[in-house]
Chains A and B, each alone.
Chain A
Amino acid sequence: MASNAAVPFWRAAGMTYITYSNICANLVRNCLKEPYKAEALTREKVHFSISTWNDGKPEKPVLRSDTLED
């Protein structure tokens, strides 16, 4: 990766483009007015359980849940 170009602040902080766009989307959703806001926030719920495997052995699964995980 060429580092002579100025890297945007979010990439320098370790975020990927996906995380960046999710945070922006979250900000936009929070700008909505009340009935639409509740509906839009239900579209943000995250829930899954991920577990990394080393050499054929799974480690303890990590549950990523709640509204938005960055």
Chain B
Amino acid sequence: MAMAAIRREGRRYAPLLFPRPNAAVRSSLVSEEDVPFGARSISTQVVRNRMKSVRNIQKITKAMKMVAASKLRAIQVRAENSRGLWQPFTALLGDTPSVDVKKNVIVTISSDKGLCGGINSTSVKISKALHKFSGPDKETKYVVLGEKAKAQMVRDSKKDILLTIAELQKNPLNYTQVSVLADDILKNVEFDALRIVFNKFHSVVSFLPTISTVLSPEVVEREAESGGKLGELDSYEVEGGETKAEILQNLSEFQFSCVLFNAVLENACSEQGARMSAMDSSSRNAGDMLDRLTLTYNRTRQASITTELIEIISGASALEG
């Protein structure tokens, strides 16, 4: 109270005794235009506004982290259960990423929403690397799931995109949806091998980009002749009235659908995990920024009080002397 009274006294004499404050007094955070007009002391207004907005951002990112954590818990169980869908296929048909085919189609899976760290960029990077890797006389095209990868692909690989799919996560992910999608892809796309690029969820902090390869039945036949795992297919007995070619075709379609389902679920898990860690580091950064701003605020406040005191005391001594 006394301070405020003294400050008011000082302000009354101030315009007579001192000219407008010079730039040396200002703190580096306060710019010329932002200080309220007519204020004699250094204004802490700007710093206070920044602190308020940083604090709000910190609260928002903390809330987003909680939301992502709860979504992750729900979907992680489903992703782990869905791994059992494609494991028998890999046991039967093998996963041969090194297969040499003419028509490659790369299915890139990404998220629709942002703020999830770097997972979409890594998926796109791997897809582009696969494209470059496949060599001169081979055709490689893209099928893109998710808005984020679409935005990145459109920049330089527009000609190679066959299909883009969006709004996949509007309803909770289920097998029916993914299988309808797989069906659409199979009907619209000619391929010898499908390479599905997604982020596999290993743990909350580790998501590794993975490629799963699904071969078309003709290629399976071809590879079967060259031996290896596929060559053992002939040792299986076929029941019922179907031929081996038909069974292979059914299996290949079903394999694609299962692998795609697992890939979409794992990618969704990785997205939530990445979002959790991104929001966590963002709240931590906001906290650090808030600490630094608080120090600046206190320094500015103390400096302004000191200058007020100096002005008042020198003014008073000038009057006496």
B162 x A18 contact (CB < 8 A): no
Could you tell me if B163 and A2 are in contact, using CB atoms closer than 8 angstroms?
Answer: no
Determine whether B206 belongs to the interface, using a CB cutoff of 8 Å to chain A.
no
The answer to whether the Cβ of B121 comes within 8 Å of any Cβ in the partner chain is: no
- Whether A50 and B176, one on each chain, are in contact in the complex, defined by CB atoms closer than 8 angstroms, is no
CB distance from A1 to the nearest CB of B (A): 7
CA distance A8 to B249 in the complex (A): 12
Known: A2-B245, A18-B182, A18-B183. A51 touches B171 (CB 8 A): no
Chain B interface helix/strand/loop/mixed: helix
Q: Which of B144-189 contact A (CB under 8 A)?
A: 158-159, 161-168, 170-171, 174-177, 179-184, 186-188
Residues of chain A contacted by B254 (CB below 8 angstroms): 17-18, 21
Contacts A6-B241, A51-B164; A46 near B253 (Cβ below 8 A): no
- Interface residues in A16-57 by Cβ distance below 8 A to B read 16-19, 21-22, 25, 43-53, 55-56
Report whether A55 and B159 are in contact in the complex, using a CB–CB cutoff of 8 Å.
yes
**Chain B residues with CB below 8 A from A46, complex form:** 171, 176-177, 180
Whether B179 contacts A44 by the Cβ 8 Å rule is: no
Cβ 8 A contact of B163, one of A51, A55, A64: A51
A2 to B165, CA, bound (A): 33
Cβ-closest chain A residue relative to B162 = A53
B164 touches A50 (CB 8 A): yes
CB proximity of A58 to chain B, nearest CB, Å: 7
Number of A-B contacts (CB under 8 A): 94
Contact A18 B257 (CB under 8 A): yes
The reply on A13 being an interface residue by CB < 8 A is no
Total number of B residues with any Cβ neighbor in A under 8 Å: 35
Q: Which residues of B contact A19 (CB under 8 A)?
A: 183
B22 at the interface (CB under 8 A from A): no
Q: Are B177 and A45 within 8 A (Cβ)?
A: yes
In the complex, whether B250 has a CB less than 8 A from a CB of chain A is yes
Docked pose: A59 CA to B186 CA in angstroms: 19
CB distance from B156 to the nearest CB of A (A): 11
- A residues within 8 A CB of B170? 47-48
Q: Nearest-CB distance from B173 to chain A (Å)?
A: 10
Assess whether B186 is in contact with A16, with CB atoms less than 8 Å apart.
Answer: yes
Tell me if B31 is interfacial: C-beta within 8 Å of chain A: no
- Contact A16/B187 with A2-B245, A53-B162 known, Cβ cut-off 8 Å: yes
- Contact call B167/A17, Cβ cutoff below 8 A: no
Q: Are B176 and A2 in contact (CB under 8 A)?
A: no
Q: Please, how many angstroms separate the alpha-carbon atoms of A50 and B257 in the complex?
A: 17
Q: Give chain B residues whose Cβ lies under 8 Å from the Cβ of A64.
A: 180, 184
User: Within 8 Å CB of A8, what residues of B?
Assistant: 242, 246
7 contacts between A and B (CB under 8 A): A18-B183, A46-B176, A48-B165, A48-B168, A50-B164, A50-B184, A51-B163
Give the A-binding residues of B (Cβ under 8 A). 158-159, 161-168, 170-171, 174-177, 179-184, 186-188, 241-243, 245-246, 249-250, 253-254, 257
What 5 A-B pairs have minimum CB-CB distances, sorted nearest first?
A: A56-B158, A17-B250, A17-B253, A5-B243, A46-B177
